[in-house]
Structure 1
Amino acid sequence: MLSQYKTVYKGGEGEIVEKKSRFIATVVPVHSEEEALKFVEAMKKKYWNATHNCYAYVIGENHELQRYSDDGEPGGTAGKPMLDVLIGEEIHNAAIVVTRYFGGTLLGTGGLVRAYSAAAKQGLASSVIITKNPGVKLRLATDYAGLGKIQYILGQRGIKILDSIYTDKVEIAALVPLDVLEAVKAEIREGTNGQAGMEEGEQCYFAEVQGEIVILDQV
């Protein structure tokens, strides 16, 4: 499992015009090749009258699957530059289709590479890109005397409290980044003189989306 990686949380659409040719970039998150190919086919149907519908997609935490198509453009001038944008931006599990409506003026191979790259970047710029971080749901149990110390430790590290239950004791569920888990547990043990109960729950990915911490999926 990677320590973290970037992906598309919400797809978007961007457009550029180069010498009267329109380049429309559509970006979506994908998690399988089947999903990516369905998206490509959907874009070809939507833009059935376009000159070209070129695509690129990357799947896997280590970019294990990489595919692209020039869809009739000169070899290496469309799909590969789009794929290079995804790899260069370190985006995982995403697909881009760039639709071209020919404007009557040839761009040349260099011009095509620049146009498709620029369109892909515009598509990503219009999307919501997030960084997925691995974390652990840590369950804590404490008496009221230790509550303040635990809240302080979690607050200092910006750790999100998922749930709190107050009875004769306090039970807290917190989302702890995996890379600081052992340090946080050590601080809580020290801060409560070993009196707080701790139990590790599921591992999951989380991300900050528009200022809010969102749990994405279990690992």
Structure 2
Amino acid sequence: MFTLDSIETFEQEIKKSRFLAVAGPIASEAAAKEFFAAHSDPAANHNCWAWRIGQSYRFNDDGEPSGTAGKPILQALDGQSLDNVAVVVTRWFGGILLGSGGLVRAYGGTAAACLRTASKVPIIATIEAHIACGFGDLALVQARLAARPGVQITAETFDADGAELAVTLPEADAQEIVRMVTDITSGRAVIKLPDKRPS
């Protein structure tokens, strides 16, 4: 699966109607709503949209005949194996009716063309881990984690004994990273992975 690297736009005219697609990465349904609010044109005839995050998805025809706009946009997302992405296709009516089939092709085609030109990045499955270590090991642990691709320190809390780091790890590398932290701290660090006892 892939997501988008940044926001992409694509515009075309079909039988005098102007269609503008805007696609971008999102992390939540709330982010999708914000994206649509930011990229819809209230002066346009229709702002049709779709988004997908994992098994969750929504789409909206915004006044076009049912099934002719939102669903084809969602199918364009799924057809390119995209996840965590929102697309809005705005239409300014040009006076010529397209019919149901024409609308499906126009909305789905505009979304698909936009997504084809967008810069994509693979979605890497990650897990959240917690690493507790003493102050003596902290700088080395932080440096080694920062040097690993895909690893992010998302929070740090301190107490009298040292620090606890909340860390996002690529799932495929989690065990190797745990071994590395254990080795560089000579087993002094306590590492908690999801649904597992401390290691």
- TMscore range, shorter length: 0.5 to 0.7
Structure 2 regions of 5+ residues with no counterpart?
Answer: 128-142, 151-169, 177-182, 194-199
> Partners in 2 of 1:182 and 1:7 — Cα distance?
25
Residue of structure 1 equivalent to 2:121 = 130
Q: Does 1:30 align with 2:21?
A: no
Q: Deviations over 1:147-187 (max 9, x none)?
A: xxxxxxxxxxxxxxxx68xxxxxxx954487547879xxxx
Q: Deviations over 1:135-155 (max 9, x none)?
A: 79xxxxxxxxxxxxxxxxxxx
Give the paired residue count: 155
Whether the aligned pair in 2 keeps the contact of 1:15 and 1:122 (CA below 8 Å) is no
Residue of structure 2 equivalent to 1:42 = 38
Q: 1:21 to 1:8 in 2, by over 3 A?
A: same
Q: 1:8 to 1:106 in 2, by over 3 A?
A: same
TM-score, normalization: structure 2? Answer: 0.65
Identify which range, 127-136 or 74-83, moves more after superposition. Answer: 127-136
| SS of structure 2 residue aligned to 1:109 | helix
Aligned CA RMSD, in angstroms, stands at 3.3
| SS of structure 2 residue aligned to 1:40 | helix
Q: Does 1:10 align with 2:6?
A: yes
Structure 1 regions of 5+ residues with no counterpart?
Answer: 137-162, 165-171, 184-196, 204-219
> Partners in 2 of 1:98 and 1:43 — Cα distance?
9
Q: 1:173 to 1:202 in 2, by over 3 A?
A: farther
Residue of structure 2 equivalent to 1:111 = 102
> Partners in 2 of 1:124 and 1:11 — Cα distance?
10
Once the 2 structures are TM-superposed, how far is the Cα of residue 20 of structure 1 from its aligned partner? 1.2
Residue of structure 1 equivalent to 2:47 = 53
Residue of structure 2 equivalent to 1:160 = none
TM-score, normalization: structure 1? Answer: 0.59
